[in-house]
């Protein structure tokens, strides 16, 4: 091989190597992962008599729960470092808030216990962000949670137990950062806030009572992800 050909080969090799260094990144292509964290939830309960309009606003219940999650995603980075990904996930277990010794709206001398639960069955997010280099990715999170919401009022001497559950949707917004150990393995830190749609329950017997529960959540966690295939941006 002549010196000129060697020079051309060297330039080509350096160019390919630099392109790979800059754009062969974790979360470019298909990836999967799992995480753990804490969910800090706020449960609000409003109890009303539709007949008289008398309403009781119970003090908000602030609860924290140790959570796990798994997720699948796909993403890509432009040659200018801008990143866009999409992610599906699920979180477990369910979270619970309990209101104890709530006075009745019809018979105030009777005390009730109300239990509210929620679990995110499916989450879907867009992840716009910016990749500073091969190791660091900063991203926002915009999405929705499809959740199972439950309500229970325990039985008393004068009333039977009341149960209700609905599938509700919540909006999610947050931010996160990823650090890559290799081109395929990374760890991340995430924060997001979820605001869920209000759920309504009506108990007709023996007292005509309407319950409205509202849940919001703040989540902070860490995760590990594995990228199945590297994506090379040109």
Instruction: State the pLDDT at residue 51.
Output: 86
Q: Pick 14 or 93 by higher pLDDT.
A: 93
Q: Which whole-number Å values give the CA distances from 170 to 97, 142, 148, 174, 203, in the listed order? A: 17, 11, 11, 13, 25
Mean pLDDT, range 80-109, rounded to an integer: 94
Instruction: State the pLDDT at residue 71.
Output: 99
Instruction: State the pLDDT at residue 232.
Output: 43
- How far, in Å, CA of 136 to CA of 83, rounded? 11
What does residue 206 show for φ and ψ, rounded to 5 degrees?
-85, -10
Percent of the chain predicted with pLDDT > 70 = 86
- How far, in Å, CA of 194 to CA of 10, rounded? 52
Position 11 confidence tier, pLDDT thresholds 50, 70, 90? very low
CA atoms within a 13 Å half-sphere pointing along the CA-CB vector of 168: 23
Domains of the chain: 3-227 (2.40.160.20)
User: What is the DSSP annotation of 1-17?
Assistant: --HHHHHHHHHHHHHHH
Position 37 confidence tier, pLDDT thresholds 50, 70, 90? very high
CA 120, 83, 69 angle in degrees (round to 5)? 20
Which residue has tokens 């990823």? 178
Strands 95-103 and 111-131, by their bridges, are: antiparallel
Instruction: State the pLDDT at residue 25.
Output: 74
Ramachandran category for residue 101: left, alpha or beta (phi over 0 → left; psi -120 to 50 → alpha)? left
- Specify the range with the lowest mean pLDDT, choosing from 14-28, 55-69, 212-226: 14-28
**Is the model's pLDDT at 16 over the cut of 50?**
no
Instruction: State the pLDDT at residue 155.
Output: 92
- How far, in Å, CA of 168 to CA of 109, rounded? 33
Position 159 confidence tier, pLDDT thresholds 50, 70, 90? confident
Instruction: State the pLDDT at residue 57.
Output: 97
Instruction: Check if the beta carbon of residue 117 is closer than 8 Å to that of residue 164.
Output: no
Instruction: State the pLDDT at residue 23.
Output: 46
- How far, in Å, CA of 229 to CA of 234, rounded? 16
**Is the model's pLDDT at 234 over the cut of 70?**
no
Instruction: Check if the beta carbon of residue 226 is closer than 8 Å to that of residue 35.
Output: no
Position 158 confidence tier, pLDDT thresholds 50, 70, 90? confident
Position 116 confidence tier, pLDDT thresholds 50, 70, 90? very high
- Take residue 39 and report the two structure tokens written for it: 């969910």
Instruction: State the pLDDT at residue 109.
Output: 80
What element of type H or E holds 170?
A: strand 162-180
């Amino acid at each position: 091989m002549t010196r000129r050909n060697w020079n051309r080969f060297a330039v080509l090799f350096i160019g390919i190597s630099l392109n790979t260094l800059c754009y062969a990144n974790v979360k470019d292509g298909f990836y999967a992962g799992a995480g753990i964290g804490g969910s800090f939830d706020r449960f609000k309960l409003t109890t009303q008599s539709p007949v008289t309009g008398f309403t009781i606003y119970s003090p908000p219940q602030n609860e924290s729960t140790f959570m796990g999650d798994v997720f699948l995603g796909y993403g890509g980075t432009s040659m200018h470092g801008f990143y866009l990904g999409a992610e599906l996930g699920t979180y477990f277990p369910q979270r619970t808030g309990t209101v104890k010794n709530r006075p009745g709206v019809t018979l105030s001398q009777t005390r009730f216990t109300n239990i509210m639960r929620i679990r995110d069955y499916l989450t879907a997010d867009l992840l716009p962000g910016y990749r500073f280099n091969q190791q660091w990715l900063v991203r926002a999170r915009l999405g929705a949670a499809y959740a199972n919401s439950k309500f229970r009022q325990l039985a008393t001497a004068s009333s039977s137990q009341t149960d209700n559950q609905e599938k509700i949707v919540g909006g999610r917004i947050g931010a996160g950062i990823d650090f890559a150990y290799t081109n395929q393995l990374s760890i991340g830190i995430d924060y997001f806030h979820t605001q869920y749609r209000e759920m309504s329950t009506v108990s007709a017997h023996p007292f005509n009572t309407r319950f409205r529960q509202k849940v919001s959540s703040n989540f902070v966690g860490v995760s590990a992800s594995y990228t199945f295939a590297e994506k090379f941006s040109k």
